[in-house]
């Protein structure tokens, strides 16, 4: 009986990995910058948490798991890393799904409770946002289960675009020129829609051009 021995090699960075590596490092830095703005919540005092005090652990879990999904998500699209080990790809994907699951459940709670203390438009924009996040990720997971891997990849891209929207919207709100447009209550709902809807629309345009090329 002939025994087949699979040769394994260590993952090594190649020139093709420079751009993915730079993108990943940038995402890590942006995630840190975004989460650093929430450091005051860790004081866990009524003064620091404000309206979130009664559900502080929901907020902390949302932010922590959300940060994990931002950092893990891009690794799934790193070509060399994905082809190096499908088992590693599945592990990273599973961790990403779990991070999204935790963060999105917490986001639902926040969107239907404390969000209304700001205004209805703010709460509704969050509710739609988290619904798109959950549905895109669920479809991506289901596509993998039924082994529709091209469909799985497309929906994982959509899921991660919606994940990145948290950073896009959050950091945009901190820009001085944006703050001049109005109060947080007035401008945040529009920026929340912009954060995920515009990138998703651009992705669909790019995908349609690739399909017709």
In this prediction, residue 154 carries a pLDDT of 94
In this prediction, residue 26 carries a pLDDT of 93
Percent of the chain residues past pLDDT 70, beyond the cut? 94
In this prediction, residue 8 carries a pLDDT of 46
User: 2 falls in which pLDDT band (50, 70, 90)?
Assistant: very low
In this prediction, residue 42 carries a pLDDT of 87
CA 148 to CA 152: how far, in whole Å? 6
User: 3 falls in which pLDDT band (50, 70, 90)?
Assistant: very low
In this prediction, residue 36 carries a pLDDT of 84
User: pLDDT by residue (tens digit) across 14-55?
Assistant: 777 788 889 999 999 989 988 888 888 888 999 989 999 999
> Do 50 and 38 contact (CB within 8 A), yes or no?
no
pLDDT at 67 over 60: yes
pLDDT at 4 over 50: no
Percent of the chain residues past pLDDT 90, beyond the cut? 65
User: 120 falls in which pLDDT band (50, 70, 90)?
Assistant: very high
In this prediction, residue 1 carries a pLDDT of 40
User: pLDDT by residue (tens digit) across 151-199?
Assistant: 999 999 999 999 999 988 988 998 999 989 999 999 999 999 999 999 9
Complete DSSP assignment for the chain: -PPP----------GGGHHHHHHHHHHHHHHHHHHHTTGGGGG--HHHHGGGGGGHHHHHHHHHHHHHHHHHHHHTT-HHHHHH-HHHHHHHHHHHHHHHHHHHHHHHHHHTTGGGGT-HHHHHHHHHHHHHHHHHHHHHHHHHHTT-HHHHHHHHHHHHHHHHHHHHHHHHTT-HHHHTT--HHHHHHHHHHHHHHHHHHHHHHHHHHHHH-
In this prediction, residue 84 carries a pLDDT of 76
> Do 41 and 48 contact (CB within 8 A), yes or no?
yes
pLDDT at 95 over 90: yes
| Tokens encoding 9 | 């090699």
Identify the residue with better confidence: 13 or 22: 22
């Amino acid at each position: 009986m002939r025994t087949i021995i699979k040769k394994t090699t260590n993952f090594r960075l190649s020139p093709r990995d420079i751009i993915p590596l730079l993108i990943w490092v940038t995402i890590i830095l942006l995630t840190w910058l975004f989460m650093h703005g929430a450091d005051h919540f860790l004081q866990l005092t009524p003064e620091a948490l404000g309206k979130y005090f009664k559900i502080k652990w929901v907020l902390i879990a949302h932010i922590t798991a959300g940060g994990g999904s931002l950092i893990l998500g891009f690794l799934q699209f790193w070509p060399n890393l994905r082809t190096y080990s499908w088992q590693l790809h599945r592990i990273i994907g599973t961790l990403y799904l779990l991070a999204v699951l935790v963060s999105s459940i917490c986001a639902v709670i926040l969107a239907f409770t404390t969000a209304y203390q700001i205004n209805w438009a703010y709460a509704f924009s969050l509710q739609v946002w988290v619904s798109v996040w959950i549905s895109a990720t669920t479809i991506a997971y289901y596509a993998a289960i039924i082994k529709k891997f091209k469909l799985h990849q497309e929906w994982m891209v959509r899921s991660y675009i919606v994940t990145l929207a948290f950073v896009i919207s959050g950091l945009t709100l901190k820009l001085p020129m944006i703050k001049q447009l109005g109060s947080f209550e007035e401008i945040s709902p529009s920026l929340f829609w912009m954060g995920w809807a515009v990138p998703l629309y651009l992705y669909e345009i790019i995908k349609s051009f690739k399909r017709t090329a």
